[in-house]
Amino acid sequence: MKTVECVPNFSEGRDQGIITEISNAIRTVDGVTLLDVSSGYDTNRTVYTFAGSPDAVFDAAFSAIERGIELIDMSHHRGTHPRIGACDVCPFVPVQNIDMDECVKIARKLGKRVGSSLKIPVYLYGHAAIRPARVELSAIRSGEYEGLAKKLKNPLWKPDYGPSQYTKQVKRSGAAVVGARDFLIAFNINLNTEDRTTAQCIAGRIREKGRVVIDDRGNRVHIPGSLRFCRAIGWYIELYKRAQVSINLTNYTKTNMHHAFEAAAEEADSLDVRVTGSEIVGLVPKEAVLESGRFFLQQKGKSQNLPEHEVIRAAVGGLGLSELEEFAPDKKIIEYML
């Protein structure tokens, strides 16, 4: 059986009624299993994870987006997470007996339907991107929702599907970004400070694209970050009363959670703050957790040839995954959920 995963991110993390309505829009589609719903109050964002057959996942994604733009008014939206629309991003991920090319076809088909039926601008990203400048989500989302009206006037940013005009509907819904990608781990690292600037500094030092500094002559100098396949920003979360380094790991086989955690801890130490723990948003592949567990076992000089649950426990302890909320492997590891 072919299995594809879809992970749409909606710009609503506070109104439980709206969050539930979008969940119900997904659940009502036969052949789809809603695996996880992760909401953040300060980010004002909810990440849904569901999986199933390609046709069923396509239908569920459209149903969720349709319901989301009915209920979410972006003109009133405020949150710490970058966003460009009510359904900010909707990626498809190959899971079993399906390749990336098929996910690209699903993404483009969905983008076309959303643009024509729901009358909102749609951009394609990741492997589904038609234009090289749109491969990176951050490039499309630059300027965010507030800059969308200006963006639509620029011929270089004509949507791949849907209207180019800033209509009343577009003002309410914003744009949607649809694509296909590999597994991505959304991973937030907690700091023992409320200073967002410190988190932003750490993010700039470790993320692949690095940061820009001003040298002694007043010139802008680009300094690459220490980790490949790592995207990061810094923010302050009022609910937790602490700053976080918010990270997306785009290739966990090359740069995994423990790599990011250790790098962030080293940078934090140089700034006289401490990393206290972390959290995973959405689901995570089992092998990624096991690899981190083996790293921390090796770090302590312990055997890595332990039962799976003990290696996972080592990862949870080493990464501090239960600092903010208990990490339940049966609810956070995708293979266990499937």
Distance separating alpha carbons of residues 90 and 111, to the nearest angstrom? 9
Distance separating alpha carbons of residues 334 and 84, to the nearest angstrom? 27
Which residues, other chains included, contact 100 with Cβ-Cβ below 8 Å and sequence gap of 6+? 94, 127, 180, 182
Distance separating alpha carbons of residues 260 and 207, to the nearest angstrom? 9
Which residues, other chains included, contact 305 with Cβ-Cβ below 8 Å and sequence gap of 6+? none
Q: Which residues are catalytic?
A: 81
What is the pairing mode between strands 176-180 and 122-126?
parallel
Longest dimension (CA), the chain: 63
Coil vs helix vs strand at 329:
helix
Please check whether residue 233 is in contact with residue 265, taking contact to mean a CB–CB distance below 8 angstroms: no
Which residues, other chains included, contact 141 with Cβ-Cβ below 8 Å and sequence gap of 6+? 82, 83, 84, 88, 177
Comparing C-alpha atoms, which of 77, 84, 58, 41 is closest to residue 5?
58
Q: What amino acid is encoded at 202 in this protein? A: I
Give the distance, in angstroms, between the CA of residue 169 and the centroid of all CA atoms in the same chain: 25
Beta bridge partners of 48: 37
Structure tokens at 290: 């096991």
Comparing C-alpha atoms, which of 128, 37, 79, 22 is closest to residue 246?
79
